[in-house]
Amino acid sequence: MPGDPGELTKIMPDLLTAGGLARFSAAAAAHVGDETVPGLVALVARGDQVHADALGSLSIGGPPVQRDSLFRIASITKPVTGAATLALIREGLLDLDEPVARLLPELAAPRVLRRMDGPLDDTVPARRAITVRDLLTFTFGFGLVPAMFTAAEPWPVVVRSHELHLSTIGPPDPAEQPDPGTWIAGLGSLPLLAQPGERWFYNTAASVLGVLLARASGQPFPDVLRTRIFEPLGMHDTGFWTPHTGRLASAFRSAPGGGLEVWDKPDGDWSRPPAFGDGAAGLVSTAGDLLAFSRMLLRGGDPVLPADLVAEMTSDQLTPAQKARGGLGPDFFAGISWGFCTSVVTAGPRAGAFGWAGGSGATWLVDPVRELTVIVLTQRMFDSPTPPPVHDALQDAAYEAVA
């Protein structure tokens, strides 16, 4: 099965060194503990060679993690949504530069706040239409910015977003979000934070893409992902929920007094179909399934995407002005940028690599220069936009293992 690392492993010591893989395993083991990372799957692959470590437990004191254990991948959902969008473009159901209003009339005549933290009725008209490209590059004018969380008083647009149960500013919450029609109507009732194309905002664009793809295809968004991405690639364990709760890790976050506390249990929010399949952060998956997704991109998109769209997806799509006005912190765009629903490395020794992180505890990195994939799945939620040390340690170890 393409998604099973055990089926894919071949001994090719000229690609990843034995000593390097031993250090990779040691780095994984060093970070596992009940108060740090209860369990993880760490996978490194180069060419046909695959090495995976499954360590720790699915919950504190619970059953051991296996190589096919399921984890909430949160924002690693975004690249999958981006790929599905490109699949519909390949089919002629969408065009990169067409206005989304053809299928999303809720976004046909947006208003734009004069100040992002200003009253909801202090707006100006949008200077141009929102396009599919704007959604893929996260520049359509709405989303998450750090200033929302540091403001002395809650921004009116944030307050109203919470009242509408959009769950687009903060962690994913499938139990909170309404059906897609209600969700997009709620978003369309809000003013944009900036003019379309003006700056980069995090998160919301990928959620909008899920609604757009459903309308373009005439299928529910989960079926779009299943038919265009998951089934062709053998990603049989990836979806917006799982009936296999015995394989799903508990999700933990830092407790106020130290240590960890449970955020979501295996029989919690990801154990049943959600009303809204969130294209920004809704999926559960396995290391093997994500490896199958990586390999599709490494071979130029075959069999689901054309090579030219894969090249665009995984290359810098932002202008200097868009980077200057956006980001998840003052140095966010130092050496990285954004392609289509994925980050891309633009400088340094890993230039050309792409990937992203999921705040529920996952990271995914693909380096086409070295044909290298590094996947780290944990159930330890991030405390900040920067992943916990285990993720950097394992990516560094993976690069050191390259022959």
Tens digit of pLDDT for each residue in 128-160?
A: 999 999 999 999 999 999 999 999 999 999 999
What's the pLDDT band for 14 if we cut at 50, 70, 90? low
Q: Give the global pTM.
A: 0.95
With a CB cutoff of 8 Å and minimum separation 6, the contacts of 174 are: 167, 240, 241, 269, 270, 274, 275, 276, 278, 282
Indicate if 168 and 32 belong to the same structural domain.
no
Indicate if 272 and 189 belong to the same structural domain.
no
Express as a percent the part of the chain with pLDDT over 90. 92
Indicate if 194 and 331 belong to the same structural domain.
no
Q: Smallest Cα–Cα separation from 172: which of 203, 132, 208, 149?
A: 203
Check pLDDT > 50 for residue 3.
no
Name the residue with tokens 């109203």. 160
Tens digit of pLDDT for each residue in 93-141?
A: 999 999 999 999 999 999 999 999 999 999 999 999 999 999 999 999 9
Name the most confidently modeled range: 2-6, 185-189, 399-403. 185-189
Check pLDDT > 80 for residue 10.
no
pLDDT at residue 386, as a whole number: 87
Instruction: Give domain status of residue 88, yes or no.
Output: no
Check pLDDT > 70 for residue 1.
no
- Answer with the one of 217, 242, 259 that is the final residue of a domain: 217
Name the residue with tokens 């296996």. 66
Total domains in the fold of the chain: 2
Indicate if 181 and 228 belong to the same structural domain.
no
pLDDT at residue 257, as a whole number: 87
Spatial distance between the Cα atoms of 124 and 111, rounded to a whole number of angstroms: 6
Indicate if 228 and 367 belong to the same structural domain.
yes
Indicate if 39 and 120 belong to the same structural domain.
no
Lowest-pLDDT choice from 107-111, 248-252, 263-267, 385-389: 385-389
What's the pLDDT band for 171 if we cut at 50, 70, 90? confident
Answer for the pair 73, 378: CB distance below 8 angstroms, yes or no. no
Instruction: Give domain status of residue 87, yes or no.
Output: no
Instruction: Give domain status of residue 85, yes or no.
Output: no
Helix axes 18-30, 389-400, angle to 10 degrees: 170
- Answer with the one of 154, 189, 217 that is the final residue of a domain: 217
Instruction: Give domain status of residue 90, yes or no.
Output: no
Check pLDDT > 70 for residue 11.
no
Q: Smallest Cα–Cα separation from 69: which of 46, 42, 51?
A: 42
Tens digit of pLDDT for each residue in 31-64?
A: 999 999 999 999 999 999 999 999 999 999 999 9
Indicate if 182 and 316 belong to the same structural domain.
no
- Answer with the one of 161, 186, 217 that is the final residue of a domain: 217
Q: CA-CA-CA-CA torsion for 163, 164, 165, 166, nearest 10 degrees? A: -130
Instruction: Give domain status of residue 74, yes or no.
Output: yes
- The whole-chain average pLDDT of the chain stands at 95
pLDDT at residue 212, as a whole number: 99
Answer for the pair 40, 65: CB distance below 8 angstroms, yes or no. yes
Indicate if 336 and 235 belong to the same structural domain.
yes
Indicate if 99 and 210 belong to the same structural domain.
yes
Indicate if 288 and 367 belong to the same structural domain.
yes
Q: Smallest Cα–Cα separation from 137: which of 304, 314, 300, 281?
A: 314
With a CB cutoff of 8 Å and minimum separation 6, the contacts of 42 are: 24, 25, 27, 28, 52, 53, 55, 287, 375, 376, 377, 394
Range of the domain at 181: 95-217
CATH no. for residue 155? Answer: 1.20.58
| H-only helix segments in 91-195 | 132-136, 147-150, 156-163, 180-188
pLDDT at residue 326, as a whole number: 83
